[in-house]
């Protein structure tokens, strides 16, 4: 019997076995998440005086507890996640003893209490942390003489920070860009060194307002370029659509855009975090995305003790400085990560088509860069964008995954960014109007 026939004969039984094992594992996780729901409510009441509301309750009950958010701002995936035991009324017997409420002004007992993580409690006028690089001198090019410096805003992805850009792109910028560009690398709300308020639901609107309050308004930006990676792409698209008259270009790296048919955000969750055991990364994503209380356990063990874990890793690796992505991975709270995941990545998907149409009509230069080996964000996401914005430039990087689309090729990536910015910088006439009436469609490119 040939190896190929042998493999075919075993493929179906193997698939059935994996499916059965997957069913059992996720059934156990469903039970554990419901059990932890009860446990956390009693512990929260013990330490904080009242239990924190969670999404095991009905949508109507949760909306009453939250308040202040309009229709459609909160993702349906917060309430519609399937759980076998919840649907059987597993939690019903304990509801009468639960006293849920706000508690928005105190830090969760399960969150980190370091100075950075508590900054939102000490700062009445909360603003985002960002790294700002000012140009070393005024623009001297003859074609652009007298024009102010160009502005670029960088937005990172999920569980990252501004370091994603300051450690990769910033060191590789040319002298010309360093002289003539103002650069803003932002820590998004709830991540890095930015505030992580407990009374915030981390919707798209919340993220946009904080970027405007922290950067766009204080620095009086009258025009800017946007560069974003992964989840940050969705925030960048929304920001660009809101300020379509100010935006010059938007570069999206591995954008997780899944069209949400009829506003069904659950489809996005099932696509990006399908409940499967294999591959391991997908299992980890589904574990943290579908299970609110199990995810809180992970954050309690890891994020709450991020300083201790950093010391342990430094000791084991004998390195004084850890890789920035290792540091960023724990710089959030469960509340900030959970709500950003659902309200931005899943819930925000239903708004993206309208935002992209605004950019297309405004003639904004849209550039999409994606790795062909990306196992986090499907390659079809970039194709989805080009279907709505036919003029978008889509470049597929061969043998690159979600991170190596930039990491390991920092210099080439930075040169590409500079080319995008400089191709637009001098296209404006003296009265400030764009001399280029339209952008012509560009076919999909494949780069090495």
The residues assigned a catalytic role are 156, 230, 374, 402
CB atoms within 10 A of CB 406: 22
Nearest partner of 234 among 155, 338, 327, judged by Cα: 155
Burial 111-148 (b: 16+ CB within 10 A, else e): bbeeebbebbbeeeebbbbbbebebeeebeeeebeebe
C-alpha 259: how far from its chain's center? Answer: 17
Lateral strand order in the sheet of 224-229? 130-133, 181-186, 150-155, 224-229, 247-253, 365-371, 393-397, 445-447
- Joined tokens for residue 30: 């469903």
Nearest partner of 158 among 77, 228, 239, 240, judged by Cα: 228
* 21 vs 330: CA distance, rounded Å: 30
DSSP state of 191: B
* 357 vs 336: CA distance, rounded Å: 29
Q: Which DSSP helix (H) or strand (E) runs through 198?
A: none
- Joined tokens for residue 239: 């920001």
Task: Determine how β-strand 181-186 pairs with β-strand 130-133.
Answer: antiparallel
* 282 vs 114: CA distance, rounded Å: 31
Q: Any idea which residue has 């040319």 for tokens?
A: 174
Angle in degrees, CA 285, 290, 291, rounded to 5: 105
DSSP-assigned letters across all residues of 73-102: TS-THHHH---HHHHTTTTGGGGGG--EE-
**393 in helix, strand or coil?**
strand
Please tell me the chain's helix, strand, coil percentages from 3-state DSSP, rounded to the nearest 5: 50, 10, 40
Q: Omega of the bond prior to 279 within 30 degrees of 0, cis?
A: yes
DSSP-assigned letters across all residues of 372-415: TT-SSS-THHHHHHHHH-TT-EEEEETT--TTTTTTT-HHHHHH
Is residue 186 within 8 A of residue 162, CB to CB? The reply is yes
């Amino acid at each position: 019997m040939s190896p190929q026939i042998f493999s075919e004969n075993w493929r179906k039984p193997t698939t059935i076995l994996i499916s059965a094992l997957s069913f059992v594992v996720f059934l156990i996780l469903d039970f554990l998440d419901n059990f932890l729901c009860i446990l956390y409510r009693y512990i929260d009441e013990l330490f904080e005086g009242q239990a924190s509301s969670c999404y095991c309750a009905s949508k109507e009950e949760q909306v009453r507890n939250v308040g202040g958010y309009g229709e459609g701002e909160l993702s349906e995936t917060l309430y519609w996640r399937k759980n076998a035991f919840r649907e059987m009324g597993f939690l019903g017997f304990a509801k009468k003893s639960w006293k849920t409420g706000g508690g928005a002004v105190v830090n969760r007992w399960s969150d980190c209490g370091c100075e950075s993580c508590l900054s939102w409690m000490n700062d009445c006028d909360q603003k985002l942390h960002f790294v700002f690089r000012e140009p070393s001198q005024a623009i001297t090019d003859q074609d652009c003489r007298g024009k102010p410096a160009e502005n670029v805003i960088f937005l990172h992805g999920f569980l990252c920070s501004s370091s994603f850009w300051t450690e990769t792109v910033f060191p590789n910028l040319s002298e010309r860009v360093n002289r003539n560009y103002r650069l803003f690398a932002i820590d998004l709300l709830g991540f890095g060194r930015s505030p992580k308020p407990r009374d915030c639901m981390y919707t798209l609107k919340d993220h946009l307002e904080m970027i405007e309050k922290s950067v766009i308004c204080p620095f009086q930006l009258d025009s800017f370029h946007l560069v974003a990676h992964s989840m940050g792409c969705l925030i960048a698209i929304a920001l660009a659509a809101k300020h379509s008259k100010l935006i010059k270009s938007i570069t999206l790296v591995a954008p997780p855009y899944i069209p949400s048919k009829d506003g069904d955000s659950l489809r996005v969750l099932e696509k990006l975090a399908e409940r499967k055991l294999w591959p391991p990364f997908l299992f980890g994503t589904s574990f943290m995305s579908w299970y609110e209380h199990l995810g809180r356990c992970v954050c309690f063990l890891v994020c709450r003790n991020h300083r201790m874990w950093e010391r342990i890793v430094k000791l084991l690796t004998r390195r004084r400085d850890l890789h920035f992505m290792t540091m960023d991975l724990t710089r959030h709270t469960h509340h900030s990560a959970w709500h950003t995941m659902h309200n931005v990545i899943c819930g925000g998907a239903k708004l993206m088509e309208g935002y992209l149409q605004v950019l297309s009509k405004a003639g904004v230069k849209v550039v999409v860069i994606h790795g062909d080996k990306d196992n986090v964000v499907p390659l079809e996401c970039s194709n989805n964008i080009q279907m709505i914005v036919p003029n978008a430039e889509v470049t597929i990087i061969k043998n690159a995954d979600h991170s190596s689309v930039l990491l390991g090729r920092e210099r080439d990536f930075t040169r590409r960014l500079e080319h995008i910015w400089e191709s637009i910088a001098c296209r404006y006439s003296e009265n400030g109007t764009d001399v280029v009436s339209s952008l012509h469609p560009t076919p999909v490119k494949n780069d090495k």
